[in-house]
Amino acid sequence: MEQGSVHTGHIHPHSVLSGTYYVTVPKAAAGLRFEDPRLPAMMAAPSKRANAGRANQSFVTVTPPPGTLLLWESFLRHDVPPNRAHAPRISISFNYALR
């Protein structure tokens, strides 16, 4: 991801497990942001507090160091906000499906 690149919110249909291996993560690079899968069912829920614990946040961002392999269930909606770093973030993403 070059500077300013973004990856909009999405899921990985027809997969069970998704992952990303982080090769290069420069300072100020955007992390991977996960959305709470319960969000669509919480229309009448009270607003979250700014200091809510990680388990109670609507979105959680993970910025792993280089050499990290991050795995998650493919139904989790996620995105990558704009890359603010001057250098590219290099990662390898993949999906695993049962066939």
User: What domains appear along the chain, each with residue ranges and CATH number?
Assistant: 7-40+52-96 (2.60.120.620)
Position 75 scores a pLDDT of 95
Model confidence at 42: pLDDT above 80: no
Q: What is the pTM of this model?
A: 0.84
Residue with tokens 């290099």: 90
Position 91 scores a pLDDT of 96
- Number of Cβ within 10 Å of residue 3's Cβ equals 15
Contact 59, 33 (CB under 8 A): yes
Report in angstroms the alpha-carbon separations of 26 from 6, 70, 82, 83.
Answer: 15, 17, 13, 10
Q: How far apart are CA 30 and CA 48, in angstroms?
A: 23
- Residues found in the chain: 99
Position 15 scores a pLDDT of 97
Interval 46-95: pLDDT, tens: 777 878 888 888 889 999 999 999 999 999 999 999 999 999 999 999 99
